[in-house]
Amino acid sequence: MSRRHRPDRGSRVGRTARWFDDRLGVARTGRTLLDKIFPNHWSFLLGEIALYSFVVLLATGVYLTFFFDASAAPVTYDGSYAPLQGVQVSAAYNSVLDLSFDVRAGLMMRQVHHWAALLFLAAIVMHICRVFFTGAFRRPREINWVVGCTLLVLALGNGFAGYSLLDDQLSGTGIRIADSVILSIPVAGTWISSLLFGGPFPGTEIIPRLFIIHVLLLPVAIIALLGVHLGILVRHKHTHFRGDGATEDNVVGERVWPTYAAKAGGVFFLTAALLCLLGGLFQINPVWLFGPFEPENVSSASQPDWYIGWLEGSLRLMPPWELSLGDYLIPNPFFPGVLLPGVTFLLLYAWPWIEAHFTKDHEPHHVLDRPRDRPVRTALGVATLTFYVILFAAGATDVLAVTFGVSVNRIVWTFRTLALVAPVAAALVARKVCLELQRRDGPPEPLPDEAEPVADEPAAVPS
Amino acid sequence: MADHTPHEASTGPDGEPLVVETDEDRRRVERRSGQTLPAVCFATSVVAALALAVVYAEGGQNQAEGVLLAVALGGIGVGLVVWAKRFMPEGPDTEPRGRIGSTAEDRAAFVADLETGAHTFGRRHLLTKMLVGAVAALGVAALFPIRSLGPRPGRGLKSTPYRDGVRLVTEDGDPVRPDDPGVGGVITAFPEGHVGDETAQTLLIRLEPGQLEPEPGREDWTVDGVVAYSKVCTHAGCPVGLYQEQRGELLCPCHQSTFDVLHGATPVFGPATRPLPQLPLGTDADGNLIATGDFSGPVGPGFWDINT
Ligand code: FES
């Protein structure tokens, strides 16, 4: 590139920008975006990693759709994976085997897609934890919290729909259990199941239907809500931690253009690189080992993807109770499979209002809390996480029993006890740690405008 | 980046400067040394991309493709981050947050407009009500096509193809004789003509004579010590496939519900609440196993109107 500028026409970048501005009038908005400030704290990367994983999911997913045949029609496998040659399988399963063994780069794409889904969910969960523990959900960000929770629900649903498509033994078992959970819904359960499956389980409809849910309905919803999520983010501007002159009235960090754009671009490429490395080197969901789905076959020691693990665990730990109401029944899976996730997400969605109700703090907040400065919130968050981690671990009771040579019975009772006791213990410890840290490091440093209050303008109330 | 000219102090909507470029920032942008690492990164990326093309053309190899793609992407990633850290303005920059809510006048004007319009609608009570009714009716009408997605949940949940006289066959379609399950052995069977039917999968288990304590009314449901239970777990529908002979227990691999085969397959551990339904067995003229009726109850997981 040349350093000389022709004074009449300006640089090429400038000419392009002017061409667009003449036609669209975007200079003002564009400038605001270029100058947007991103705080420099590592924890702000979590949401970005989720976003970038989603981009990788879209790219690899589109590729996979060109090869996947969403049909339950029976075909005889004759591809190059010898152990299954001559076996009658569904067209869906057949196309996955072909993609994995007979399409160049096919297996790599499939595995990158699966790893990206795992990372997508992991990054979302970590991001929610960051937002929760630092109080970034408080006014004015309640709406974005709700949008974010919905994105989590959609991502969970799409992950499950995705790995259920392959019609292998593992995914078939997963759908069977999901159908039982649906059947357990009072009054409407049998109808929902019948409409979803086009008749009784398994039928031939569920794979094409899950396919359109997985590649159209949920992704479109996720993209739309991501747009809303980021739009609101730009509107609100970022929260930030104390320090570097941060106040309730400014945003401190790096400008998008050029520094942050280069770094964020770098993080995108690094995320994609990590996923390709995982997808290339680490086998994931080897459906050829699980075999095609046959309802009468056993699949022991089968675990779902990690983000479904807590539901698997809750189904396992639930004692053998169900509720008879005269002639009618609320079956056992309703409680761990519908009620627990229902309550979980209800509380998650409502958290900003619950907290504001109890703290009586309805003011806007843009400066983040250190978790230690909110011992009660932190303790509650830690207790909740502990509970779900225990449920997650309980999803592997059979594996643990074999590994440690203990009876499943013992393990299940241990986990039932832990699920009740450990969250309380964890909360007490977390609270103690918070208070100890507070005592050791002193109170949070005052905001600049708190230190020197301006005469008659209340500083921290922008609206 | 050679095009970079120092940023004149730009100003925000309220006139205060948005960007203050410090001497340090300017020094970073103009710096000459330190380009080697990002340059090597980008070069590595190019090499990896070319190698990827070669691997692909040579027939492809998934591990190599993954690693090379990772190197190609990672090279760009590391290069960009290092470039940003070494040669770009570092901040911290500050921008005013601005207000989120509108000014009092804007808000008042907006609310007033909204209310005027709402008032205009509201004056026509009848029309408003009719409109709401019409839209609601349309909403209900839109539900009907959804009904086409599947049939009314029917007897399929409560009954199976087993009837009096239906022969039991193996997965290969062969008839089953009472001595086919060896002692302690298990066979999965189906009603003839319905091999693979999810709800009708049946476990045939041979017990030692006198081991079984039949439920009242089921004394003649076994043939030569062979007892038949539904294979569909009453918890969440997995096939109950693991038979532990010494304990006379069936274990479900999904959530470890355990059923006591000697006592009507009642659940003894795990989340299952209802016993596995039992199938009444008999033999036909050729000595093959047949059902003498349907299962003792609805098979598989529970649902709302299971008892009606
Ligand atoms: S499906 Fe058998 S224990 Fe859950």
Contact A333 B236 (CB under 8 A): yes
The CA distance from A446 to A453, in Å, is 11
Tens digit of each residue's pLDDT, chain A (463 residues): 445 545 556 799 999 999 999 999 999 999 988 989 999 899 999 999 999 999 999 999 999 999 999 999 999 999 999 999 999 999 999 999 999 999 999 999 999 999 999 999 999 999 999 999 999 999 999 999 999 999 999 999 999 999 999 999 999 999 999 999 999 999 999 999 999 999 988 889 999 999 999 999 999 999 999 999 999 999 999 999 998 889 999 999 999 999 999 999 999 999 999 999 999 999 999 999 999 998 888 766 678 899 999 999 999 999 999 999 989 999 999 999 999 999 999 999 999 999 999 999 999 999 999 999 999 999 999 999 999 999 999 999 888 888 899 988 999 999 999 999 999 999 999 999 999 999 998 888 888 866 544 444 444 444 4
Give the other-Cβ count within 10 Å of A296's Cβ.
20
Do the Cβ atoms of B253 and A296 come closer than 8 Å? no
Interface check A194 vs B, CB under 8 A: yes
Do the Cβ atoms of A89 and A77 come closer than 8 Å? yes
Domain residue spans of chain A: 30-305
Residue nearest to atom 4 of ligand 1 (CA): B255
Give the other-Cβ count within 10 Å of A336's Cβ.
24
Interface of A with B in 94-123 (CB under 8 A): 104-105, 107-108, 111-112
Do the Cβ atoms of A44 and A260 come closer than 8 Å? no
Question: What kind of fold does domain A30-305 have according to CATH?
Answer: Cytochrome Bc1 Complex; Chain C (1.20.810)
B255 lines ligand 1 (CB under 6 A): yes
The CA distance from A259 to B83, in Å, is 9
Residue type, B90: E
Q: How many residues does chain A have?
A: 463
Do the Cβ atoms of B87 and B79 come closer than 8 Å? no
Which residue has 């490395």 as its token pair? A277
CA of B145 to the centre of ligand 1 (A): 34
**Taking the alpha carbons of B15, B19, B22, B26 in that order, is the dihedral positive or negative?**
negative
B233 lines ligand 1 (CB under 6 A): yes
pLDDT at position B8: 37
CB pairs under 8 A between A and B: 301
Which residue has 């990633």 as its token pair? B77
The CA distance from B105 to B114, in Å, is 14
Do the Cβ atoms of A287 and A170 come closer than 8 Å? yes
B254 lines ligand 1 (CB under 6 A): yes
The CA distance from B250 to B261, in Å, is 7
String of DSSP letters for B88-118: S----EEEE---SSPPHHHHHHHHHHHHHHH
Residue B93, Cβ density class (10 Å: 0-12 exposed, 13-18 middle, ≥19 buried): buried
pLDDT at position B18: 53
Q: Which two tokens stand for residue A89?
A: 């399988």
pLDDT at position B22: 77
pLDDT at position B33: 86
Do the Cβ atoms of A303 and A289 come closer than 8 Å? no
A47 to A277, A299, B224: CA distances (angstroms): 21, 36, 65
Contacts with A189 from chain B: Cβ below 8 Å: 303-304
The CA distance from A206 to A167, in Å, is 10
Chain-centroid distance, C-alpha A407: 34
Contacts with B147 from chain A: Cβ below 8 Å: 195
Contact B97 A248 (CB under 8 A): yes
Chain B nearest C-alpha distance from A430 (Å):
32
Interface of A with B in 6-35 (CB under 8 A): 11, 13, 31, 35
B236 lines ligand 1 (CB under 6 A): yes
Give the other-Cβ count within 10 Å of B101's Cβ.
11
The CA distance from B197 to B152, in Å, is 19
Q: A91-102 and A106-133 helices cross at what angle (nearest 10)?
A: 100
B235 lines ligand 1 (CB under 6 A): yes
Do the Cβ atoms of B304 and A187 come closer than 8 Å? yes
Residue B148, Cβ density class (10 Å: 0-12 exposed, 13-18 middle, ≥19 buried): exposed
Considering only CB atoms, B302 lies closest to which of A267, A331, A409, namely A331
3-state secondary structure of A145: helix
Contact B88 A104 (CB under 8 A): no
Q: Ligand 1: which of B203, B252, B268 to mutate, judged by most atoms within 8 Å of the beta carbon?
A: B252
% helix, strand, coil for chain A, step of 5: 65, 5, 30
Interface check A215 vs B, CB under 8 A: no
Question: For the domain B160-292, what is the CATH superfamily, name and number?
Answer: Rieske [2Fe-2S] iron-sulphur domain (2.102.10.10)
CA of B233 to the centre of ligand 1 (A): 5
The CA distance from A55 to A57, in Å, is 5
Q: How many residues does chain B have?
A: 308
Residue type, B133: G
Which residue has 């070319």 as its token pair? B50
Give the other-Cβ count within 10 Å of A110's Cβ.
25
pLDDT at position A64: 97
- Is the complex ipTM more than 0.95? no
Do the Cβ atoms of A242 and A27 come closer than 8 Å? no
Contact B88 A262 (CB under 8 A): yes
Q: CA angle A421-A424-A428, nearest 5°?
A: 135
Paired strand residues for B267: B259
For chain B, what is the largest distance between any 2 Cα atoms, rounded to a whole number of angstroms? Answer: 102
Do the Cβ atoms of B160 and B294 come closer than 8 Å? yes
Peptide bond into B209 cis (omega under 30): no
Among A99, A107, A176, the strongest candidate for a mutation testing the B interface, having the largest count of B CBs within 10 A, is A176
> What is the distance between the terminal CA atoms of chain B, rounded to a whole angstrom?
77
Bridge pairing between strands B289-292 and B281-283: antiparallel
The CA distance from B299 to A411, in Å, is 29
Nearest atom, ligand 1, residue B233 CA: 2
Q: Which of A64, A35, A112 lies closest to A215, judged by CA?
A: A64
Residue A224, Cβ density class (10 Å: 0-12 exposed, 13-18 middle, ≥19 buried): exposed
Residues lower than pLDDT 70 in chain B: 1-21, 155-156
Among B37, B303, B307, the strongest candidate for a mutation testing the A interface, having the largest count of A CBs within 10 A, is B303
